[in-house]
Every structure is written in structure tokens, then in C-alpha cells.
Chains A and B, each alone.
Chain A
Amino acid sequence: SAVISQKPSRDICQRGTSLTIQCQVDSQVTMMFWYRQQPGQSLTLIATANQGSEATYESGFVIDKFPISRPNLTFSTLTVSNMSPEDSSIYLCSVEEPRGQPQHFGDGTRLSIL
């Protein structure tokens, strides 16, 4: 399965600032996804990162708050904008290649907002 690397692994940020999280895959993949896991909760899909077009967001998530880039088939970024303490979560990248195969996840970015 693909090797997925996320950076940073963790960060502590001030409220009102923004942070960009990177997801790098060691092979070309069609489907890349971003999830959020709030403290003590399960995972929730934020959006599908589409290569060459705008990301597809799930209900409750908007581009202004979580802009996503997907410049090629091996890389994506998620920005958490204008952060508040409620954004403290683990943010995870996953890939699925090809469609229908099991998704594989990175180890996530643990984000704390003060």
C-alpha cells in the first residue's frame, strides 16, 4: 500500500491564525481525502481533494474555512483558516487507489489552538 506522510505531525497555534498541513504520497493516487477527528470522537470526512479542480466538500465544511490544494497526483494540502479552539483536532489524509480499494491513512496532524 502507499506510504503517506503528513507534516507537521503536531502543532500548537494561536487563535485567529491559519495552518497548512501537507500530505505526500509515495505513488500517484487518484483519490485523496481529508478527515477530521475531534477529541474523543470518530473520524469525519471534510472533503475529497480533486486533482486539477476544486475540492468536493462534505456538509458542514466550507472552502473558506478549509481550503484544499491538489496540484498533482502525489500531494495535497489542507489549510485550517482563522483557527479557534474548536478546531483543535487530528487532521488526517487518506488515499484510495484505485477507486474501490481500501483507503489508507497517514498518521495525522494533531492540532491544538490556544
Chain B
Amino acid sequence: DAKTTQPTSMDCAEGRAANLPCNHSTISGNEYVYWYRQIHSQGPQYIIHGLKNNETNEMASLIITEDRKSSTLILPHATLRDTAVYYCIVRARDQTGANNLFFGTGTRLTVIP
């Protein structure tokens, strides 16, 4: 599975949009981009995933560049409860993909009151 690069940490003001970038320049054609977050003392929580089109759900939006080498997770109105470590993961969805979700080090997002 392709490796990803994320900033170590970011701050965001409460109520503003949080934009979390991720680089995955070696992504393969059959690999999806997944985003998870881990709030302290909890297991990772699935947020969203996509292949090449932009995706939106009740939690966030995912913007994937046309060349698929990078993506951005957008939390439209960050709250204090969004403070967490956010992980960007790429993985194939078919049997060619490893079972492993390679979490990397993630981005520690701190939402500031």
C-alpha cells in the first residue's frame, strides 16, 4: 500500500473549517483514500473514503486532486470535539490489497476555542 505524508500537527479555530492535507504521490490506480480519526482513549473512527471523485458525508468532505497524488479532508465547522489525531490511509479494496491499514503518524488537530 502507498505511503502517505501528513503534517504532524495543526490548529483550527472553533467554528472555522479545518482543512487537513495528505500527500500520497505513489498511490496506485486501485487504491482508495481513507480517513480515520482517533480521539484520546478511543479506537480509530472511520470518517470517509474515496477513489477519485470528491466525497461528502455527514462528518466531512474529501477532496482528491485530479492526479490523485494528494487529498484534503475538510471538517466544515470544527468543534472542540473534533480535536483528535487524523490519519490518511491508502489501500486497495480488492483482494490485491493487504489486510493492513497503515496508519502512519497522522495529523494532530487541535481545535481552539
The interface size of chain B toward A, counting residues with CB under 8 Å, comes to 20
Closest to A102 in B: B46
The interface size of chain A toward B, counting residues with CB under 8 Å, comes to 23
Chain B CB within 8 A of A19 CB? no
Q: A99-B95, A100-B94 are in contact. Are A105 and B43 (CB under 8 A)?
A: yes
CB of B46 within 8 A of CB of A42, answer no
CB of B103 within 8 A of CB of A31, answer no
Which residues of chain B have C-beta atoms less than 8 A from A48's C-beta? 99
Q: Is the interface of B mostly helix, strand, loop or mixed?
A: loop
Contact pick for B99, options A33, A42, A43, A101, CB 8 Å:
A33
Chain A CB within 8 A of B76 CB? no
CB of B45 within 8 A of CB of A105, answer yes
Q: Shortest beta-carbon distance, A36 to chain B, in Å?
A: 11
CB of B101 within 8 A of CB of A45, answer yes
Closest to B32 in A: A100
Q: A42-B104, A42-B106, A100-B93 are in contact. Are A108 and B43 (CB under 8 A)?
A: yes
A residues with CB within 8 A of B: 1, 4, 31, 33, 42-43, 45, 48, 56, 58, 92, 94, 99-108, 110
B residues with CB within 8 A of A: 34, 41-46, 49, 87, 93-95, 97, 99-101, 103-106
